[in-house]
């Protein structure tokens, strides 16, 4: 197996439902860009009808008490704000290839079947070796995820995943007789760990060195009503909780879409650290007093 220090650069394709969803794998993307890999982010919707907390707050009031400035904001205007936010967030992690699609919200594949065609074209253009997207299954009890979001039979995240997986197989299994476009196979696909229950996460990526960028990213999504204090709490309870499960400070979880085959048994760097580093140093690392993770 080629070592990570000498391997050829990889191309990553991240397919998400809404602009803010990028934060759930942003640290991982930053790590890979720092390694020399390329990352393309595709957002299926512009977010113009999602997470507009200020507008929803006004709708809770009697009509006579509502703020005209907020009430007169259009979904298109709100989407422009979201686009600016995710562009700034992507810059924090070195991502330069951001593609915001404008399929109707809530995103439903049955209503927008052309989304698969759009993703297929992006796959043929980017030719990624790795795809990251949402989990295509609802694994939480009562249709409620651990972050309190309702999933139901269908939701934007699940539908995005199904569209991405459908698009993934087309360049590999469906010959293009008319245009003879080049075929392409994506080597590995991973689902966001935030979409599943903690015990279903297959592995974590340590993002402890990217925690400040994660804090900044959450703060930049001001359109969702988040301020700096809330952003820090959100990262602490999200990436911080994942980090606790991963025996580090901050982490992002993932689920493998398929069984992996290795050329040999490998012991991860983190397992070696936990097997050889004194427990006092491990405690200091988890508390943030000591950084055991290596520089990229």
Query: Could you tell me the residue ranges of all domains in the chain?
Result: 11-259, 262-296
Residue with tokens 């934060």: 23
Distance CA 238, CA 194 (A): 8
What would you measure as the largest C-alpha separation in the chain, in angstroms? 69
Note the pLDDT of residue 154: 57
**CA distances from residue 18 to 26, 107, 116, 158, 190 in whole angstroms, order as listed:** 14, 10, 16, 12, 18
CATH of domain 11-259: 3.40.50.10320
**CA neighbor of 107 nearest in space, from 117, 115, 118, 95:** 115
Cβ distance 191 to 135 under 8 Å?
Answer: yes
Note the pLDDT of residue 35: 95
Note the pLDDT of residue 1: 35
Low-confidence spans in the chain with pLDDT less than 70: 1-5, 138-154, 294-296
Note the pLDDT of residue 2: 40
SS (H, E, C) 128-193: CCEEEECCCCCCCHHHECCCCCECCCCCHHHHHHHHHHHHHHHHHHCCCCCCCCCCCCCCEEEEEH
β-pairing, 130-133 with 11-16?
parallel
Distance CA 127, CA 131 (A): 10
Q: Cα angle at 30 between 255 and 170, to 5 degrees?
A: 50
Distance CA 286, CA 101 (A): 39
Distance CA 26, CA 217 (A): 9
Note the pLDDT of residue 177: 79
Distance CA 168, CA 124 (A): 10
Q: Cα angle at 84 between 79 and 85, to 5 degrees?
A: 95
Distance CA 108, CA 92 (A): 30
Distance CA 152, CA 57 (A): 24
Q: pLDDT digit string (tens) for 69-97?
A: 888 888 888 889 999 999 999 999 999 99
Note the pLDDT of residue 296: 62
């Amino acid at each position: 197996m080629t070592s990570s220090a000498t391997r050829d650069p990889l191309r990553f394709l991240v397919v998400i439902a809404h602009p803010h969803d990028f934060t759930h794998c942003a640290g991982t993307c930053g790590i890979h860009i720092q390694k020399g890999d390329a990352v393309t982010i595709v957002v299926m919707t512009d977010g113009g009808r999602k997470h507009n907390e200020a507008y929803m707050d006004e709708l809770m009031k009697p009509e006579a008490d509502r703020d005209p400035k907020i009430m007169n904001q259009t979904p298109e205007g709100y989407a422009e704000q979201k686009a600016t936010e995710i562009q700034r967030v992507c810059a924090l992690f070195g991502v330069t290839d951001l593609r915001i699609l404008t399929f109707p919200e809530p995103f439903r594949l049955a209503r927008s079947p052309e989304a698969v065609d759009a993703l297929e074209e992006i796959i043929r253009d980017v030719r990624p070796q790795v795809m990251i997207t949402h989990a295509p299954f609802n694994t939480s009890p009562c249709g409620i995820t651990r972050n309190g979001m309702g999933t139901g039979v269908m939701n934007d995240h699940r539908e995005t995943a199904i569209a991405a997986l459908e698009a993934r197989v087309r360049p590999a299994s469906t010959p293009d007789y008319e245009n003879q476009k080049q075929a392409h196979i994506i080597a590995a696909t991973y689902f966001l760990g935030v979409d599943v229950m903690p015990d279903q996460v297959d592995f974590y990526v340590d993002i402890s060195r990217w925690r400040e960028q994660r804090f900044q990213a959450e703060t930049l999504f001001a359109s969702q009503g988040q301020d700096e204090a809330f952003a820090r709490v959100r990262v602490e309870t999200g990436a911080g909780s994942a980090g606790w499960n991963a025996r580090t400070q901050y982490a992002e979880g993932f689920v493998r879409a398929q069984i992996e085959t290795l050329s040999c048994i490998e012991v991860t760097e983190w397992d070696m650290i936990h097997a050889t580093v004194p427990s006092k140093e491990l405690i200091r690392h988890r508390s943030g007093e000591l950084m055991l993770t290596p520089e990229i």
